[in-house]
Amino acid sequence: MAKLGKDYFGLGRVISIILAIIPVTAWILGIITRISEGKIVAGILRIFLGFWIIWLVDLILMILNGRIMRLLNI
């Protein structure tokens, strides 16, 4: 489901931006998205390290590019 080319499970850009604005929703969906893509290590790191800093980067990139950033490909 996450491989449709858009972030947050193939949802549209406006809905993804709205979900990215809410910190808790962005954190939970970011974890689920990473794990569903098979990037278990990135999902675990997101759980422990990625609440505020990665949320802010994800929000800015979601607004500017329409995609969240993926730093880790593991």
Residue labelled with tokens 């990665």: 54
Torsion of CA 16, 64, 7, 56, to 10 degrees: -80
Q: What is the pLDDT along the chain (74 residues), one digit of tens a residue?
A: 444 445 677 788 888 888 888 888 888 888 888 888 888 888 888 888 766 777 787 788 778 877 776 666 66
Under 8 Å between Cβ of 49 and 43: no
**Which residues are CB-contacts of 74 (< 8 A; sequence separation ≥ 6)?**
39, 41, 42
Euclidean distance between CA atoms 27 and 49, whole angstroms = 10
Model-level pTM? 0.70
The residues spanned by each domain of the chain are 7-65
